[in-house]
Amino acid sequence: LSVKAPLSINNKIEGIIGLAVDITDRKKREEAENKLKMQEELYNIAKYVLHDIAQPVTVLKGYLDLNKSLSGEEKRIFDEVARSIENIADRLLSKYRGGKDAIESHYVLVTWCLERMISQKREQYKGRDIEFKSSLDSANKFVFIRGNFVDFSE
């Protein structure tokens, strides 16, 4: 930060006088405070989103438990979708809390994930004129990635 003013001698401007102050530390402190404030605001938003998502998911899970007309496969798919929504909301909250993701990564079998996602899409678009086919090369049947199902399916 610098301040400059005219230097007068006998009412005649003879030059410029200035003062410079290093405000780097103050700026870093302000940036850190702003970042913390924004993180707190995002955390509060994430908390409300988590609450708003959790309520309908709980109702959905209760409905699935009571509904006897769904097949076992249909219930499994809807339960996975509900669990996936809960995981996404939990991870959102965890991220803005400044913590590590709530879902640990591990080795995931790619073909298994793809088949589950295709199964979900088949159920989602049931009754429509859409056909889902999967053709997986047998040489790649046991390919793993390090991650988690939620990340991979997103």
Longest pairwise C-alpha distance within the chain: 99
Q: How far apart are CA 133 and CA 153, in angstroms?
A: 17
**Whole-number pLDDT of residue 101:** 47
Question: Tokens 């049947």 appear where?
Answer: 141
Each residue's pLDDT, cut to its tens digit, for the chain (154 residues) gives: 999 999 999 989 999 999 999 999 999 999 999 998 888 888 788 777 777 887 788 888 788 778 778 787 777 788 778 887 877 777 777 766 655 544 566 777 888 878 888 887 887 788 888 888 878 777 877 888 887 666 676 6
Q: How far apart are CA 110 and CA 142, in angstroms?
A: 8
- Decide the pairing of beta strands 106-109 and 12-20: unpaired
- Structure tokens given for 83: 């669990």
Beta strands in the chain (DSSP E): 2-9, 12-20, 106-109, 144-147
Beta strands in 10-101 (DSSP E): 12-20
Beta-bridge partners for 15:
7
Beta-bridge partners for 144:
109
> What is the DSSP-derived secondary structure letter of residue 143?
-
